[in-house]
Amino acid sequence: MNRYLLLCFFVFCSFCSIKANLIDSLFVHAPFEVLPNLSYSQRIELMELSKAGKSSFTKNILGDTCRMEFYSPTYLRVKLSHVFTFEIKLIEEREKGAYFLVNETCCAPACDSYLSIYDEKWKLKKMKNLTQRPKFSDFLKNKEAGEDSNLSFSPLFIRADVSEKSDSIIFHLDAEHTLCREEWKEWKDKLNLSISRPIGLKKK
């Protein structure tokens, strides 16, 4: 009982001080349609344990083990289950507010990511130049090899990697899990399986 009361007090104090760090506030107050697996108290518990240098894991709403894998004032990565990963990265601060990149990745076993841009009020921003998925032709070593090659890879499974320090998004084509063995042998030497794009907020 005492342990439960201490946890409640810890959560209450954290709510009072959460505004001190922008990425903390964004993670804790993320809408449930964006982050449905964790309650507000579970998000705070994960974040504060990680900041204290302790092992930070909990059971999410669905009963899966959830772990804070990385935390910093500008970037955090949470393993929501054995197949889902959720990332938030501060990409730009302006006089009128901040912008964040959200990366949601599922691996089962082929990996696919979904990128979104939000402001600090969780309003979705349309930034196609940053969040648009690469095409198959973007991964070709020889760009003139044939645009109709896109038909050979449908659907595409593409994992996006972001990190605390990098100013780029690394896109990985998960072709090995998508293609049959014969197709993989045919295409593996013709592809750059990873490509990089800079993170920026220049609208088209």
Model confidence pLDDT, tens digit, residues 180-201: 788 888 888 888 999 998 886 5
The residue type at 23: I
DSSP, collapsed to helix, strand or coil, labels residue 190 as helix
Q: For the residues 51-64, what does the mean pLDDT come to?
A: 82
CB-based contact 55:49 (threshold 8 Å): yes
Cα–Cα distance, 69 to 47 (Å, whole number):
10
What is the phi/psi pair of residue 60, to 5°? -80, -175
Residue 16 pLDDT exceeds 50: no
Task: Answer whether residue 10 shows pLDDT above 80.
Answer: no
Two tokens, residue 98: 């901040």
Label residue 26 by pLDDT band (50, 70, 90): very high
Query: 6 by DSSP, 3-state: which?
Result: helix
Collect all residues with Cβ–Cβ distance below 8 Å to 8 and sequence separation of at least 6.
none
Q: What is the pLDDT of residue 144?
A: 65
The SS3 call for residue 161 is: strand
Domain ranges of the chain: 1-81, 83-204
Give the mean pLDDT of 166-183: 84
Region 28-46 average pLDDT: 91
Q: Which letter, b or e, does each residue of 69-92 get, where b requires 16 or more Cβ atoms within 10 Å of its Cβ?
A: eebeeebbbbbbeeebbbbbbbbe
Stretch (H or E) spanning 43: helix 40-51
69 pLDDT above the threshold of 60: yes
Residue 135 pLDDT > 90:
no
58-67, 76-85, 150-159: which has the highest mean pLDDT? 76-85
- Report the alpha-carbon distance of residue 160 to residue 169 in Å, rounded: 6
pTM: 0.80
3-state secondary structure of 141: coil
Better-predicted residue by pLDDT, 39 or 126: 39
Higher pLDDT, 114 or 149: 114
d(CA 147, CA 137): 6
